Homo-oligomer: A and B are copies of this chain.
Amino acid sequence: MSFQNPVFIPGPTNIPEAIRKAVDMPTIDHRSPLFGEILHPARANVREVLRSQAAEIFFFPSTGTGGWETALTNTLSPGDKVLAARNGMFSHRWIDMCRRHGLEVEVVETAWGEGVPADRFEAILTADKGHAIKAVLATHNETATGVRSDIAAVRRAMDAAKHPALLFVDGVSSIGSMDFRMDDWGIDIAVTGSQKGFMLPAGLAILGFSGKAKKAGEAATLPRTFFDIRDMEKSYAANGYPYTPAVGLLNGLKLATDMLLAEGLDNVFARHHRIAEGVRRAVGAWGLTLCAATPELYSDTVSAIRTPEGFNATDIVSRAAKEYGVAFGTGLGEVAGKVFRIGHLGSLTDVMALSGIAAAEMVMVDLGLPITLGSGVAAAQDFYRHGAPAKKAAA
């Protein structure tokens, strides 16, 4: 197993050296005060990353999927109705989870490549006079399609409809990498995981709960134990945990969020945008298009790239892995075989991105696609490069 090349999957990301070392921690007594010295700063930092003043932050030894389950089971009861758009694999899975837990889902079918349709949400919510809908589910960034939805618009739709439903947002592949505003957007539950913007190994579900979401939990009857936030909350207050915590990951999260906040969230987002835009320039130079329908939907963490009709996009991923030792993402669900994905989130530099673009070019040429070697690289370089010193001085 060689680990020489960076990975270009849309998470888990490449892990910074310092974070790997923070995670790789000898055993401590998690019932000692040391644990609180890791837990509480990590919680405060995550709250800040969510741009929230008062969200209650919870960490479960789990994944984003466990985070969704935490959101649902801590706020809803069997038979409750939720509203969700299906515009990609992850929204699809969340809808499926709702149904398995006995919730009724009003699904707004949406083309894969489109964002959450705020206007249709508004119509549905306005029509729901009896407020049967208890929660609106929105996937901020559809990792399968590289589509970033407008969560502020969803909030506006809810407000326009004067609807009291809770707003749950899957920010798994956006939080820590793209602008995310829990308070401004009136989000009740934000869900993410450790292995994306936080640049850690997988193993933590990370959630922010608004006061309203917590209150909803008092009446919620979906069964829960492992994912019960009440046990978490009580334990946190005593510097503890309801079972054995993943201490190393929490220690890594503390460092990762220290690093993000030290860099400045806006700088972090600008960095992701810059790297992503370089990849998009390359895609343009190749004469290919993104799965995301319009530029305002373009994700800054992952690009799903459509390949020509009749070509199996998955071959790119297989060949890149086998021949060049480079990992890209395959298309999932409805876009399987139609797109391949380049992840560009977390720990990445312009230079690393260029190596991924260069690898993709070689693979596509190998497979007979009409791509000019170096064309995507040149387009990205032109965007990435820092300009002639003379020009800089002039600026």
Contact = CB atoms under 8 A, between A and B. Distances in A.
Given A27-B14, A327-B32, A61 B64 contact: no
A41 interface: no
Contacts of A224: 100
A351 B359 CA distance: 6
A326 B351 contact: yes
A62 B226 contact: yes
A13 interface: yes
A49 to B, nearest CB: 20
A350 interface: yes
Nearest to A348: B4
Given A325-B351, A366-B389, A386-B366, A249 B373 contact: no
Contact of A23 (B13, B24, B195, B225): B24
Given A14-B4, A27-B7, A358-B381, A225 B65 contact: yes
B387 A358 contact: no
**Tally of this chain's copies:** 4
B226 A65 contact: yes
A63 interface: yes
Given A31-B330, A63-B243, A203-B246, A15 B26 contact: yes
A157 interface: no
Contacts of A367: 388-389
A180 B242 CA distance: 26
Q: By DSSP majority rule, is chain A's interface helix, strand, loop, or mixed?
A: loop
A101 B226 CA distance: 11
A28 B368 CA distance: 27
A223 interface: yes
A217 to B, nearest CB: 13
- Per CB-CB distance, the 9 closest pairs between chain A and chain B, nearest first, are A374-B378, A29-B327, A355-B355, A374-B374, A362-B385, A3-B26, A24-B24, A354-B358, A202-B244
Interface of A: 1-5, 7, 9, 11-17, 20-21, 23-32, 34, 61-66, 68-69, 78, 96-97, 100-102, 193, 195, 201-203, 222-228, 242-249, 321, 323-327, 329-330, 347-352, 354-355, 358-359, 361-362, 365-368, 372-375, 377-379, 381-382, 384-390
11 contacts: A3-B28, A4-B16, A24-B24, A64-B244, A100-B223, A202-B245, A203-B249, A323-B386, A324-B386, A351-B359, A374-B377
